[in-house]
């Protein structure tokens, strides 16, 4: 695609100072000024970032919390008495009430109607996915479609599916790290002619930043598939409207959306889809009643509560529930759409700036994986630094240099082996062979496949990213010029 069509500034070597670079950025992206409320928020509520001189570029790893979120939560805890829910005493009822408010807040945030969806609190996005994985009625011959671009927490569901004899298929990626539309359509057709089961894919890749088409949800459902949409990397900087796209299951982690609290995520699931799940066990909190003496070695001697409680094992993190409501209010206060607009403008500048960096011999200084423009992508960029001969530098070396400068980026394969293997053109045969070796670490495993470490540096933008963050990153990468 022609760069002028994408709204990206012309590729440039970024040799200028920050004030000059910012002025040029504003001249080509005047809309950035419409997002200045985020600068005010950063100065007021995230002071520690600039006070400590930190360049935070790992929002897909975890977002950052605002001071006001923590204060409001602390105030509430210091001035209330909350006990374990699951009882009628006043401290218990108070905790139950806050959990129910948080449930409603989550539904409202994702525009999900209570008639259609339930919210089940979990420890994180992985816990939400596992609830589906362990309870989905996989059976012999059932088609399960996974995309090569998936976080390991989604890939892992293939273990439950294949143990029960399901036919697990992977949809490959194209060169630009997008889903191969033809393969997916063919798998939908084949599935609908046989036994369609579950289709699980990420709304946004945590590896390449690609945003996979939410239109696949309706197409999959029309072919009889249930859809698990992994929204963990998408929800922090994109509005997800369940009233428009209606996936059956959605997982998120709240710390990725607003930094605090950690340790809480949820599964947002359609009642109709939940009714198909069969829980493989029960626990305190999930059963209305159970008997030991009536059990007699086999059969059922317990009755599960109704949804959502039948899926919440034990005691939820009840003190964190008000922090979820506070976090959602915080994010809505600034506006996901405003955050989205800002991070995309910054991503456009960053892509152009990285593309413009060259060694003295004219060779590019870095290689970006996935889309090089803003079309259908989010604010996550994966790249490697190259030497003047085009060889990748060890990303651990680059990571350590960034660490030393107070720049938080993340390196490796980012728990997304399929995306890494595709981006680095790794051979399936070699990968299979390497499983016969005795590797115990990712490094040993990779060393048996290739003579270099394959992965990359990931930068991801979020709620209070600003121009200085991306400018510093580009200056940092420039320092590798030879």
Ligand X SMILES: Cc1ncc(COP(=O)(O)O)c(C=O)c1O
Q: Mask 255-294, x = binds ligand X (CB under 6 A)?
A: ----------x-----------------------------
Smallest separation (angstroms) from ligand X to the CB of 151: 4
Q: Is 168 within 8 Å of 158 (Cβ atoms)? A: yes
**122 touches ligand X (CB under 6 A):** no
**413 touches ligand X (CB under 6 A):** no
CB atoms within 10 A of CB 462: 26
Output 42 or 458, the one with its CB closest to ligand X.
Answer: 458
Output 197 or 412, the one with its CB closest to ligand X.
Answer: 412
First to last CA, the chain: 30
Stretch that binds ligand X, among 123-131, 134-142, 441-449, 467-475 (CB under 6 A): 123-131
Q: Mask 213-232, x = binds ligand X (CB under 6 A)?
A: -----------------x-x
What are 373's strand-pairing partners? none
Q: Considering only residues 44-73, where is the footprint of ligand X by CB under 6 A? A: 60
Stretch that binds ligand X, among 5-13, 17-25, 38-46, 120-128 (CB under 6 A): 120-128
Output 230 or 248, the one with its CB closest to ligand X.
Answer: 230
What are 269's strand-pairing partners? 118, 249
Using CB atoms within 10 Å of the CB of residue 361, give its burial: 0 to 12 exposed, 13 to 18 middle, 19+ buried: exposed
Smallest separation (angstroms) from ligand X to the CB of 254: 9
Among positions 29, 63, 96, 124, the unique one binding ligand X when judged by CB under 6 A = 124
Using CB atoms within 10 Å of the CB of residue 365, give its burial: 0 to 12 exposed, 13 to 18 middle, 19+ buried: buried
Residue among 85, 107, 113 at smallest CA distance from 97: 85
**233 touches ligand X (CB under 6 A):** yes
Collapsed DSSP state (helix, strand, coil) of residue 182 = helix
Helices (H), 335-392: 336-356
Smallest separation (angstroms) from ligand X to the CB of 343: 16
C-alpha distance from residue 155 to each of 101, 149, 404 (Å) = 32, 9, 34
The C-alpha angle with vertex 421 and arms to 417 and 424, in degrees rounded to 5, equals 135
Residue among 332, 373, 394, 352 at smallest CA distance from 9: 352
Among positions 125, 229, 382, 473, the unique one binding ligand X when judged by CB under 6 A = 125
Q: Where are the beta strands (DSSP E) in 341-461?
A: 366-369, 380-385, 407-408, 410-412, 456-460
Q: How many residues bind ligand X (CB under 6 A)?
A: 13
Output 69 or 150, the one with its CB closest to ligand X.
Answer: 150
Q: Mask 287-306, x = binds ligand X (CB under 6 A)?
A: --------------------
- Give dist(CA 169, CA 155) in Å, integer: 11
Output 55 or 124, the one with its CB closest to ligand X.
Answer: 124
Q: Mask 185-214, x = binds ligand X (CB under 6 A)?
A: -----------------x---x--------
Question: What are the φ/ψ torsions at residue 287 (nearest 5 degrees)?
Answer: -110, 135
Among positions 147, 253, 310, 380, the unique one binding ligand X when judged by CB under 6 A = 253
Q: Considering only residues 141-170, where is the footprint of ligand X by CB under 6 A? A: 151, 153
Stretch that binds ligand X, among 44-52, 97-105, 124-132, 352-360 (CB under 6 A): 124-132
Smallest separation (angstroms) from ligand X to the CB of 62: 8
Which residue do the tokens 């963050």 mark?
A: 469
Smallest separation (angstroms) from ligand X to the CB of 388: 34
Q: Is 202 within 8 Å of 60 (Cβ atoms)? A: no
Query: Given the rule CB under 6 A, which residues bind ligand X?
Result: 60, 124-126, 151, 153, 202, 206, 230, 232-233, 253, 265
């Amino acid at each position: 695609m022609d760069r002028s069509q994408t709204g990206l500034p012309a590729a440039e070597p970024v040799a200028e100072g920050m004030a000059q670079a910012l002025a040029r950025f504003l001249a080509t992206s005047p809309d950035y000024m419409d997002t200045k409320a985020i600068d005010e928020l950063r100065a007021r509520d995230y002071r520690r970032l600039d006070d400590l001189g930190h360049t935070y570029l790992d929002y897909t790893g975890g977002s950052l919390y605002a001071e006001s979120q923590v204060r409001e939560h602390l105030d509430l805890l210091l001035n209330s008495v909350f006990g374990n829910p699951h009882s009628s005493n006043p401290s218990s009822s108070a905790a139950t009430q806050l959990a129910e408010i948080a449930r409603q807040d989550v539904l409202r945030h994702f525009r999900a109607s209570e008639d259609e969806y339930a919210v089940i609190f979990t420890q994180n996005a992985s816990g939400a996915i596992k609830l589906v994985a362990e309870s989905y009625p996989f059976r012999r011959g059932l088609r399960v479609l996974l995309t090569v671009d998936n976080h390991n927490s989604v890939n892992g569901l293939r273990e439950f599916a294949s143990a029960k004899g399901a036919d697990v298929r992977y949809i490959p990626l194209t060169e630009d790290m997008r889903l191969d539309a033809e393969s997916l359509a063919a798998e939908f057709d084949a599935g609908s002619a046989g036994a369609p089961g579950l289709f699980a894919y990420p709304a946004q890749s945590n590896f390449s930043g690609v945003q996979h088409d939410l239109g696949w949800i309706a197409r999959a459902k029309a072919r009889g598939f249930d859809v698990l949409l992994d929204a963990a990397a998408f929800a922090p900087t994109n509005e997800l409207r369940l009233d428009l796209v209606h996936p059956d299951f959605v997982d998120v982690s709240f710390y990725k959306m607003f930094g605090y609290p950690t340790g809480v995520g949820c599964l947002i699931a359609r009642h109709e889809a939940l009714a198909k799940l069969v829980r493989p066990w029960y626990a305190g909190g999930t059963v209305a009643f159970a008997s030991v003496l009536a059990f007699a070695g086999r059969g059922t001697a317990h009755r599960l509560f109704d949804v959502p409680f039948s899926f919440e094992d034990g005691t939820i993190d009840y003190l964190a529930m008000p922090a979820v409501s506070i976090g959602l209010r915080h994010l809505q206060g600034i506006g996901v759409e405003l955050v989205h607009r800002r991070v995309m403008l910054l991503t456009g500048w960053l892509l152009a700036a990285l593309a413009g960096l060259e060694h003295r011999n004219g060779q590019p200084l870095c290689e970006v994986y996935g889309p090089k423009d803003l079309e259908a992508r989010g604010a996550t960029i994966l790249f490697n630094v190259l030497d003047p001969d085009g060889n990748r530098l060890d990303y651990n070396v680059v990571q350590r240099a960034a660490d030393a400068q107070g720049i938080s980026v993340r390196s490796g394969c980012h728990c997304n082996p399929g995306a890494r293997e595709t981006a680095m053109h790794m051979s399936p045969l070699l990968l299979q062979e390497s499983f016969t070796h005795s590797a115990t670490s990712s490094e040993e495993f990779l060393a048996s496949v290739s003579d270099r470490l394959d992965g990359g540096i990931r930068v991801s933008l979020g709620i209070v990213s600003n121009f200085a963050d991306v400018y510093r990153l580009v200056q940092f990468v420039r320092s590798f010029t030879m």
